[in-house]
Amino acid sequence: MRTLIVVPTYNERENIAQLIPILLRLPLQPCVLVVDDGSPDGTAEEVERWRERNPERVYLIEREGKLGLGTAYCTAFQWALQRPFEVVVQMDADFSHDPADVPRLVAALEDADVVIGSRYINGVNVVNWPMGRLLLSWLANRYTRLITGMPLADATSGFKAFRATALRRIRWEAVRSNGYAFQIEVNYRLWRAGCRLKEVPIVFVDRRSGASKMSRRIVYEAAWRVWQLRFSTLLGNEQRYYADP
């Protein structure tokens, strides 16, 4: 299956320089799309160098300013759906997601529409996180499952593989979440659209280098978004998020 790996970036020059060649060597022979939010550290310039060497497999979308993770993925998904990709993978640039796990996630799409690289499906598989952040993440996922009813242990994971047919079910211009809330909303919308969601275990390792993008605003957004998702279903006003059959 023709596969596209989407990597959003902001000040990830050092990491992206190492990640792109690793992804290009995967047996899937995927293409790579980097969506950069105007990184002042030269991330886009580094991607452009790889694009010049591999014009058929490396792509770059440059955006002006830090517009957020959610809008980066929405832009990338719409870009991908205009091209003949059958599978789209999303992952972080900082090596917290192991590139070697990409083929495993894609293979799991054989009997699923969305595959989630899960930190919590088999216990807790997180390395180098402070206990406070780990506890916050684990509790946030328990909270999300309780409120939304989604059968997921890790609804906030950013490591996922999608069938393009699943992505076509969503109106991406209507999705406004960012950060953790974006991951939750995408899972919820696809679940409500009838997609088959599957979790496969991964080991999450905190970033190799660079600064974390976590903030209190991201946490607060996720906390209230789960209620908004639930009420949109109860009130029957969620249809605007779904594409026509």
Compute the distance between CA of residue 91 and CA of residue 96 in angstroms, rounded to an integer: 9
Q: Indicate the burial class of 10 (C-beta count within 10 angstroms; 0-12, 13-18, 19 or more).
A: buried
Compute the distance between CA of residue 28 and CA of residue 46 in angstroms, rounded to an integer: 23
Compute the distance between CA of residue 153 and CA of residue 122 in angstroms, rounded to an integer: 9
pLDDT at 219: 62
pLDDT at 209: 52
pLDDT of 104-125, one tens digit each?
Answer: 999 999 999 999 999 999 988 8
On the CB side of 133, CA atoms within 13 Å amount to 10
Are residues 94 and 207 in contact, defined by beta-carbon separation less than 8 angstroms? yes
pLDDT at 208: 55
**Among all chains, which residue has been given the structure tokens 């993925």?**
73
Compute the distance between CA of residue 52 and CA of residue 115 in angstroms, rounded to an integer: 31
Structure tokens at 234: 């109860």
Please list the pLDDT of the chain residue by residue as tens digits (245 residues): 899 999 999 999 999 999 999 999 999 999 999 999 999 999 999 999 999 999 999 999 999 888 889 999 999 999 999 999 999 999 999 999 999 999 999 999 999 999 999 999 998 888 877 888 888 888 889 999 999 999 999 999 999 999 999 999 999 998 988 877 899 999 999 999 999 999 999 999 985 554 555 556 666 676 777 888 887 887 777 888 888 76
pLDDT at 222: 64
| CATH code (residue 163) | 3.90.550.10
pLDDT at 245: 61
Domain carrying residue 55: 3-241
Predicted structure pTM score: 0.91
Are residues 109 and 115 in contact, defined by beta-carbon separation less than 8 angstroms? yes
Give the number of domains in the chain.
1
Phi-psi group of 210: left, alpha or beta (phi > 0 → left; psi -120 to 50 → alpha; rest → beta)? left
DSSP letter, residue 170: B
